[in-house]
Amino acid sequence: MKLNLFILFALVPIFCFSESLYLRDNLKRTEKGDYLVAVRNKNYTVIFIEEKLNGSLVIQEITIPKQLFPQNIPTWRAWVEAGAPNHTAWVAYTVDLSTGYIQHYYSYPHQSWMNISESDSILSKLINLPFTPIAPHKRRYIGNSDGTRRLWHPRMIVEGQQVPGIRFDAWEGRWPQDQSQLSGNQVQIYLPEKGAGYPDYFPYWLQMKAAVGKAQLRIVDSGHQLRSPRHFPMKLSTNSLTTESKQSKNP
């Protein structure tokens, strides 16, 4: 089973150019209700923090194909709070903040717990991957060659509104040699510069360069204080997660 993905939280601030940084470190800086909406292969995935505990996070992901999104629902927040009509996947899982590994994984449509093997855990490998800053001369530029060329930056969108003028830092890493389709591929991520006034732990753009083609993940919306109509089927405490039942109380 392949994880339906790509929680992509970003990195700690730059302390020195050569320092390796890890996505798992910034997971500690998220807040309950933080969310982003990613698009890949004509599918949207809403990713949000359901709960933040001492030592772990509860994260939900809801996926829907572009063509199935209801036209009468104006925002992603309204869609989730309405029960995510037409969704094709809805999962929740916990992440150990000290290791970056997934502890528990639950499928709402199947109303069951799922086993996640190390080889299938794309998320765990991504947030445990060391990243380094991309040198300016190696970054993507746009414009003409007459001196008007400038660094390319992804779009920042918050609550459905584009925020102009936000600059991003670029980072790169390399996928481990794990015999998967991603094995050894270069990974690039972009996150807001420190001091931009927006959470700099969200990558707003991710690209994996494979031997054949590229895989891209874009963030098309983000925000705070999202509330889910479904809750993780475990008893939550300030220090740990304890199984409440093996069956979700939500259909």
249 inside domain: no
Residue 145 has pLDDT above 80, yes or no: no
Nearest to 171 by CA among 211, 205, 121: 205
| pLDDT for res 237 | 58
12 occurs within a structural domain: no
Domain membership flag for residue 165: yes
* 12 confidence band (pLDDT: 50, 70, 90): very low
- More reliable by pLDDT, 48 or 16: 48
Note the pLDDT tens digit of each residue in 86-110. Answer: 999 999 999 998 888 888 899 999 9
Total number of domains in the chain = 1
Q: Which CATH number covers residue 217?
A: 2.50.20
Look at residue 25 in the predicted model and tell me its pLDDT: 87
Is residue 36 domain-resident?
yes
Residue 3 lies in a domain: no
Asked if the structure places residue 43 within a domain, the reply is: yes
Confirm whether 13 is domain-assigned: no
Long-range contacts of 185-192 (CB under 8 A, 24+ apart): 185/209, 185/210, 185/211, 187/126, 187/129, 187/131, 188/134, 189/8, 189/10, 189/11, 189/23, 189/131, 190/153, 190/154, 191/10, 191/11, 192/156, 192/166, 192/167, 192/168
Quote the pLDDT of residue 117. Answer: 65
Confidence of residue 210 (pLDDT cuts 50, 70, 90): low
pTM of the predicted protein model: 0.80
What range defines the domain where residue 140 resides? 21-233
Whether residue 34 is predicted with pLDDT greater than 50 in this model: the reply is: yes
C-alpha closest to that of 126 among 55, 226, 26, 220: 26
Per-residue model confidence (pLDDT) at position 127: 85
Q: What is the pLDDT at residue 206?
A: 84
pLDDT reading at 52 higher than 50: yes
The verdict on residue 5 lying in a domain is no
